[in-house]
Amino acid sequence: MQNPYLPYPVRIDSIITETEDRNLKTFRFVFLNPDDEKKFAYQSGQFAELSVTGKGEIPIGIASSPTEKGFVTFTVNKVGLVSSYLHSMKVGDIMGIRGPMGHPYPWDVLKGKNVVIIGGGFAFTTLRSSIIYMLHPENRSKFKDIHVIYGARTPGMLLYKNELAAWEKRDDIRMNITVDGTKDPDWKYNVGFVPTITEKKAPNADKDTYSIICGPPIMIKFTQPVLDKLGYAHDHIIMSLENRMKCGIGMCGRCNVGKDFVCKDGPVFTLSQLETMPQEY
């Protein structure tokens, strides 16, 4: 019997501090047993439990893309017990990851469609995975237009700055990076909150256009009316929930929203699905 609680052993391969407040770090892990990488076959939108031996486990979205081989990456915000300890760990340290868990973004549905990615703050991790996945030469032709609207408080708080700059230069992805405010005279991109930029830059709705939206509750709250105004049907708005988790496999009972477990039946839901569920997220 496969033990679904047993993490795959991994080694920390690199650590990048992403943001100027040093609260977000990207950890790159390599599997100690190469076979485990195959077992960990995942798709963009899924998450895993990072197991820090002696401290506990935390559910974190997978930031790498299935098209990137030989490692997996996660970007972790420093919050409490486990994430703070993880921030103090070093390259070479041994820990575990368990997964992949949950449903990915609905890639079958998104095939042949325009994809509008809207992200705010550090909830850009699985969106980064999605962008890398879609831009991969083998996949780019499977999708029509790709729009990205991504905002952070300041330029220094944006994740994956080098990749953002590289995507800005491409003509097969329409980038709209924005910050709430900046004193940087060299800032070349937008200034304004994500909902405002969405209103200005997001394409109008049609049946072939889906938006994936991840961000802090306040951003989601104000972006949703904008998408309504642009005419997005609620089954074309895709979101990802973050309830407190332990097991990640639908057994420990804590992450439910109505009859669905965020870990097993989510974390990805459409807005029309969420409208039939209690607002316990």
Ligand X SMILES: Cc1cc2nc3c(=O)[nH]c(=O)nc-3n(C[C@H](O)[C@H](O)[C@H](O)COP(=O)(O)OP(=O)(O)OC[C@H]3O[C@@H](n4cnc5c(N)ncnc54)[C@H](O)[C@@H]3O)c2cc1C
Contact residues for another protein (CB under 8 A)?
1-7, 9, 51, 53-57, 79-80, 83, 93-96, 217, 242-244, 246-247, 249-259, 264, 275-281
| CB-nearest residue to ligand X | 80
Q: Binder to ligand X among 51, 64, 75, 224 (CB under 6 A)?
A: 75
Closer to ligand X by Cβ: residue 121 or 155: 121
Check residue 192 for interaction with ligand X (CB under 6 A): no
104-108: long-range contacts, CB 8 A cutoff, minimum separation 24: 104/42, 104/43, 104/44, 104/45, 104/46, 104/268, 105/43, 105/44, 105/45, 105/130, 105/212, 105/238, 105/268, 106/238, 106/268, 107/43, 107/44
Residue 143 in contact with residue 134, Cβ under 8 Å? yes
Residue 263 found at the interface with ligand FES (CB under 6 A): yes
Question: What does 137 interact with, of ligand FES, another protein, ligand X, none (CB < 5 to 8 A by kind)?
Answer: none
Residue linked to tokens 């969405």: 198
Contacted by 93, from ligand X, another protein, ligand FES, none: CB < 5 to 8 Å by type: another protein
| Residue 245 binds ligand X, judged by CB under 6 A | yes
From 265, 273, 219, 211, select the one nearest 236 (Cα to Cα). 211
CB nearer to ligand FES: pick between 110 and 274: 274
Binder of residue 61, out of ligand X, another protein, ligand FES, none (CB less than 5 to 8 A by kind): ligand X
- Cβ proximity of 160 and 129 under 8 Å: no
Nearer to ligand FES, 94 or 252 (CB): 252
* Sites of contact with ligand FES (CB under 6 A): 245-248, 250-255, 261, 263
